[in-house]
Amino acid sequence: MSGSWWLIGVLTAGITAAESVGPSKPNLVWIMADDLGYGELGCYGQKVIQTPQLDRMAREGMRFTQFYAGATVCAPSRSVLMTGQHQGHTRVRGNAGRTNPAAQALRADDLTVARLLRGAGYVTALIGKWGLGDVGAADSGLPRKQGFDVFFGYLNQGHAHNHYPDFLWRNEEKVALPNEIVPLGQVGAGYAIKADAYADDLFADEAIRFARAHRDRPFFLYWNPVVPHANNERTRAIQDGAEVPDYGPYADRDWLAPDKGHAAMITRLDDHVGRFLDELRRLGLAERTLVIFTSDNGPHRESGHDLRRFQPAGPLRGLKRNLTEGGIRVPTLAWWPGTIAPGTVSDHVGYFGDFMATAAELAGVPLPPGRDSVSLVPTLRSRGPQPRHEFLYWEFHEGGFSQAALYQGRWKAIRERSPDAPLQLYDLAADIGETTDVSQRHPEIVARIEAYLKTARTESPDWPVRRQPTRPAKP
């Protein structure tokens, strides 16, 4: 059954917007940083970058130690979140960019969590980076066609490289900003030569205004900051992609500019989240609002900053674009005063696709069919048995086809660059840094994961399995 017909069925069964509004339905807020590493918050062991507000959020709420992004790069990770389907089933499975914009867009029959919640009486907003549809060939994925009542931000991810854009989108209209840019690449991309309006400052203000305007009705806010993602075009031009209005507490450090900028971006984001949580308290909404903070994938190296200084993946191996833990395990905090016990640390193994089932349970609507989603509500409320995934799944389409699967939350298998490559196997319970391949010691585990991988994905004409060309042997 398509997403559209399923939603019509729910509404005709009596779950109408008017009937579903009520104080028992909590507000839902998902805040997702861009390229923030597992080790870049103080509450996850960061020693250099200051994140006092997010550390306070962890003390007041729940910190997950083994929570995963939907993918190791931007667009598919967001598609997994929106559809509640893992990367072998969701619509968008990679970053297609300008080469195939339709492959990086949701379609009319995709059922997003925003459409689900709007059907349950929520007012829905997307603020910040979208990346799953654009004007033109990919307009089926535009936010307001995918369940969002209001949208303010960037449509495509190339535009979102630029932290000082000369325009943003409000719904389907361009809003001019007082920045002047050197244009590079696709429309809107480049870097500023006159920098007056920092996009993430505007997004934080917009998020606060949205909460103020909808204090009397359940709302879903999907807030996507673009920090600490680099401005890749600025990196290529002046070797410093860490665009930020000021260096804050790092201004006097004896560091290179990209290091100061990278740290300042994260501390600025930290302040934005703290302001928002304080506003929820002031509005009397804190105990009626679940806020989840996370990152879309692992940390990047694209602004020219020194990874050795920050150790952004913490104890994990790899970065963005890797299927090792550093590319997909992400910092994740949940805050819901009066419901989540302060200072809780959860080792529950979850991932972005679980938000669909969680939102459905909290909104009082059934989970749509065909989802790879398990509700986190028992963990959040510390009450009742928590269902668990037997497997989690990821794939990567750049430089050949790679796969990863996590079995029983412990056994991590990775196949690199070819569907015919042998599996590497890691025991995360004993080796969080994935330093030792134990596939020869546990052939029975490898066999179980091999069997799963044969059924883990559906074929997609937009995302076919590609084999690396065989190189001729050297004479």
Q: Among 391, 395, 392, 393, which residue's Cα sits nearest to residue 322?
A: 395
Last residue within a domain, chosen from 349, 365, 388:
388
Q: Among 163, 193, 96, 179, which residue's Cα sits nearest to residue 303?
A: 163
Angle formed at CA 41 by CA 36 and CA 47, multiple of 5 degrees = 125
List the single range of 12-16, 239-243, 399-403 with lowest mean pLDDT. Answer: 12-16
Task: Specify the pLDDT at position 12.
Answer: 35
Regarding whether 216 and 296 lie in a shared domain, the answer is yes
**Residue where the block lists tokens 């505007």:** 202
Regarding whether 46 and 122 lie in a shared domain, the answer is yes
CA of residue 424 relative to chain centroid, distance: 26
Report the number of distinct structural domains present in the chain. Answer: 2
Of residues 21 and 463, the one with the higher pLDDT is: 463
- Residue 153, amino acid: G
Q: What's the domain range around 444?
A: 392-453
Evaluate whether residue 229 is within a structural domain.
yes
Regarding whether 416 and 276 lie in a shared domain, the answer is no
pLDDT band at 386 (very low <50, low <70, confident <90, very high): very high
DSSP structure class, residue 230: -
Regarding whether 434 and 319 lie in a shared domain, the answer is no
Last residue within a domain, chosen from 365, 388, 411:
388
> What would the mean pLDDT of 383-406 be, rounded to a whole number?
97
pLDDT at 470 over 80: no
Evaluate whether residue 80 is within a structural domain.
yes
> What would the mean pLDDT of 408-435 be, rounded to a whole number?
97
- Residue 402, amino acid: S
Question: HSE on the CB side for 115, CA within 13 Å?
Answer: 28
Task: Specify the pLDDT at position 4.
Answer: 52
Record the pTM.
0.94
Mean pLDDT of the chain: 93
Evaluate whether residue 461 is within a structural domain.
no
Question: HSE on the CB side for 267, CA within 13 Å?
Answer: 19
Regarding whether 72 and 198 lie in a shared domain, the answer is yes
Task: Specify the pLDDT at position 395.
Answer: 98
Domain with 419 in it: what CATH number?
3.30.1120.10
Domain with 18 in it: what CATH number?
3.40.720.10
Evaluate whether residue 469 is within a structural domain.
no
Of residues 469 and 149, the one with the higher pLDDT is: 149
Task: Specify the pLDDT at position 17.
Answer: 40
pLDDT in tens, 250-291: 999 999 999 999 999 999 999 999 999 999 999 999 999 999
Task: Specify the pLDDT at position 113.
Answer: 98
Two tokens at 15? 């779950």
> What would the mean pLDDT of 408-416 be, rounded to a whole number?
98
Evaluate whether residue 471 is within a structural domain.
no
Regarding whether 160 and 71 lie in a shared domain, the answer is yes
Beta bridge partners of 211: none
Regarding whether 276 and 222 lie in a shared domain, the answer is yes
Task: Specify the pLDDT at position 1.
Answer: 37
pLDDT at 475 over 80: no
Q: Which long-range contacts (CB under 8 A, 24 or more apart) does 196-199 make?
A: 196/164, 197/164, 198/163, 198/164, 198/243, 198/244, 198/245, 199/128, 199/153, 199/154, 199/162, 199/163, 199/164, 199/165, 199/168, 199/226
If DSSP codes are grouped into helix, strand and coil, which group holds residue 49? coil
Regarding whether 14 and 46 lie in a shared domain, the answer is yes
Regarding whether 141 and 110 lie in a shared domain, the answer is yes
> What would the mean pLDDT of 197-208 be, rounded to a whole number?
98
Helix (H) or strand (E) holding 271: helix 257-282
- As a whole number of angstroms, the distance between CA 378 and CA 121 comes to 23
Using CA atoms, how far residue 306 sits from 262, 303, 311, 315, in Å, is: 9, 9, 9, 17
Q: Which residues of 199-211 are buried (b: 16+ CB within 10 A; e: fewer)?
A: bbebbbebbbebb
pLDDT at 474 over 50: no
Regarding whether 417 and 378 lie in a shared domain, the answer is no
**Residue where the block lists tokens 């072998």:** 88
Task: Specify the pLDDT at position 54.
Answer: 99
Task: Specify the pLDDT at position 291.
Answer: 99
Task: Specify the pLDDT at position 468.
Answer: 64
Evaluate whether residue 83 is within a structural domain.
yes
pLDDT exceeding 90 applies to what percent of the chain? 89
- As a whole number of angstroms, the distance between CA 125 and CA 152 comes to 8
pLDDT in tens, 439-460: 999 999 999 999 999 999 999 9
- As a whole number of angstroms, the distance between CA 109 and CA 97 comes to 22
Q: Among 97, 98, 75, which residue's Cα sits nearest to residue 87?
A: 75
Evaluate whether residue 8 is within a structural domain.
yes
Q: Among 416, 358, 319, 458, which residue's Cα sits nearest to residue 29?
A: 358
Neighbours of 230 (CB within 10 A): 27
pLDDT at 9 over 80: no
| Residues shown for the chain | 475
- As a whole number of angstroms, the distance between CA 132 and CA 105 comes to 4
DSSP structure class, residue 56: H
pLDDT in tens, 78-96: 999 999 999 999 999 999 8
pLDDT in tens, 97-131: 778 889 999 999 999 999 999 999 999 999 999 99
> What would the mean pLDDT of 339-350 be, rounded to a whole number?
98
Regarding whether 433 and 285 lie in a shared domain, the answer is no
List the single range of 80-84, 155-159, 188-192, 450-454 with lowest mean pLDDT. Answer: 188-192
Regarding whether 408 and 376 lie in a shared domain, the answer is no
Evaluate whether residue 215 is within a structural domain.
yes
